[in-house]
Amino acid sequence: MSLTRRTLISGIGLAAVLGPTRTAAAAGRPRKGKHMKITKLASGLLFPEGPTVLPDGDVLVVEIHRGTLTRVKPDGTTSVAATTGGGPNGSALGPDGRVYIANSGGLRRFEVGGFVFAGGIPDDYTTGSLQAVDLSDGSVETLYTEADGVPLRGPNDLVVDAHGGIYFTDYGKSDGVTGDKGRLYYAKADGSSIKQIAGGMEGPNGIGLSPDGTRLYVSETYTARVWWWDVTAPGEIKGGRSLGGSGGGNFLYTAPDYVNFDSLGVDGHGNVCVASMVHAGISIIGPDGDLVRFVDINVDDDPGITNITWGGPDMRTAYVTASSTGHLLKIENWPYPGLHLNHA
């Protein structure tokens, strides 16, 4: 029997949908007088994540269970931009016009209540990697599979800084008995160097930079926490303000109810917008750690809201992946404008 999202939520005692918790002036004034409009831009995707808006208005997503980087046109038609293999988990435009991929090396497909999820170690797993895709011909270059002799286990998400360097999370792998501690890395886009910048984390997933590039944010899945570091130089981060902070980071926020945090995006006001599974939606968190708003997203009862990015002339169009039902959602009139990403 298929379970509805309402059944999943009520069965674990989740709180009601959260409303605003501080004034709009404190976070950057939201758009008033217009309601958000949600449409299914594309369907039939095999666990989509990592949306990236291209200058021509097309949107790229990775399909973890298909092993592809997929292009979605404004009319919703899809085509394969590149076959990456493994389990592509995140994408971002780089300084040379290529699209960079955090590839987990693959994840098992499983279902809960009729909804699709991803996790574990597939039989054909060999390694995680950081890849680069040339959109002109679909060619894929594998840049890194290790750092200082230590294999990349499960790269998950990435963000490119103004200098062309790539920060990315390595979620790690688990066989259900033992599991890796998560790590953060910084790599050059030309494949010339990579280094670990933090370790000992509990499932680091989403990653983003503040609008001025001076803060690095990371979300953890099962702890449902967001951590941050000062960026002191390209690839150099400093935390230490929170006792026992994961990866040495500074504590920003934790969810008040039972959710699994997935990826994140930073909007134009510096709010950290974290996608969540189980209680599906987007937590809009101010840089001071206060919850500005929770945007509940309920499309086909999908409990797997995983990523957000923005596009459109005024950056008020959000693109959100509803992974467990295979949709890319287009949400018009998002409350706050998105951030223009480096090199996009």
The domain segmentation of the chain, as residue ranges, is 5-332
Instruction: Concatenate the DSSP letters of all residues of 90-136 into one string.
Output: EEEE-TTSPEEEEE-S--EEEEETTEEEEES--TT----EEEEEETT
Instruction: Show the tokens assigned to 34.
Output: 């217009």
What's the rounded Cα separation, in Å, for the pair 232 and 323?
35
What's the rounded Cα separation, in Å, for the pair 84 and 216?
27
Instruction: Show the tokens assigned to 322.
Output: 């509803």
* Residue bearing tokens 């280094």: 195
Q: Which residues of 223-262 are buried (b: 16+ CB within 10 A; e: fewer)?
A: bbbbbbbebeeebebebeeeeebbbbbbbbbebebebbbb
Please report the pLDDT score of residue 34 as a whole number. Answer: 79
- CA dihedral sign, ordered 143, 147, 152, 156: negative
pLDDT digits 0-9 by tens, 190-247: 999 999 999 999 999 999 999 999 999 999 999 999 999 999 999 999 999 999 999 9
Please report the pLDDT score of residue 105 as a whole number. Answer: 98
| C-alpha pair distances (Å), 246 with each of 88, 200, 224, 226, 300 | 25, 7, 12, 9, 35
Class of domain 5-332: mainly beta
Say what the pTM is: 0.92
CA-based nearest residue to 238, from 284, 157, 184: 184
What's the rounded Cα separation, in Å, for the pair 197 and 188?
13
Please report the pLDDT score of residue 29 as a whole number. Answer: 53
| C-alpha pair distances (Å), 270 with each of 13, 37, 266, 273, 293 | 31, 23, 6, 9, 14
What's the rounded Cα separation, in Å, for the pair 309 and 316?
10
What's the rounded Cα separation, in Å, for the pair 10 and 13?
5
Please report the pLDDT score of residue 290 as a whole number. Answer: 98
Could you read off the pLDDT tens digit of each residue along the chain, which spans 344 residues? 445 554 554 443 333 233 333 433 344 455 555 799 999 999 999 999 999 999 999 999 999 999 999 999 999 999 999 999 999 999 999 999 999 999 999 999 999 999 999 999 999 999 999 999 999 999 999 999 999 999 999 999 999 999 999 999 999 999 999 999 999 999 999 999 999 999 999 999 999 999 999 999 999 999 999 999 999 999 999 999 999 999 999 999 999 999 999 999 999 999 999 999 999 999 999 999 999 999 999 999 999 999 999 999 999 999 999 999 999 999 999 999 999 999 98
Strand partners, 282: 275, 295
For residue 75, the one-letter residue type is D
- Asked if 239 and 230 count as a contact pair (C-beta separation under 8 A), the reply is yes
